[in-house]
Structure 1
């Protein structure tokens, strides 16, 4: 086994770390409460809050070709 640990210690540490990761994911999931509903009609462009607002501004700037 890695680091000379016995199997029982290794399995206990593995189970504890797996349970703590699952518990942490559950806590975060319950805290942020994601919206898992699927809309019937897809939203129009610009209606989503998750769109990058700075992206539109960057696309409007004129592109000067580098020589």
Structure 2
């Protein structure tokens, strides 16, 4: 018995923790929306700019909603 609990309970807890980890990673991936394109020429050091694309899209949608 690992950690002093029965095997079925241990496996359920392990499965729940793994699923929770995968769900959290997916939420972060959807929020930050990484740019997965591969550029032809790699950028020089200091040239690489990153943006929060998910945040930018929501910000633009809110701005257009306020204009209307």
Normalised by the shorter chain, which TM-score bucket? 0.5 to 0.7
TM-score (norm 2): 0.63
Residue correspondence of structure 1 range 2-41 to structure 2 within 5 A:
2-41=2-41
User: Number of paired residues?
Assistant: 50
Partners of 2:41 and 2:10 lie apart in 1 by 51
Give how far 1:4 is off: 2.0
Unaligned 5+ segments in structure 2 are: 51-68
Aligned residues: CA RMSD = 1.6
Unaligned 5+ segments in structure 1 are: 51-67
Higher helix share: 2
Higher relative contact order (CA 8 A, sep 6+): 2
Residue correspondence of structure 1 range 35-50 to structure 2 within 5 A:
35-49=35-49
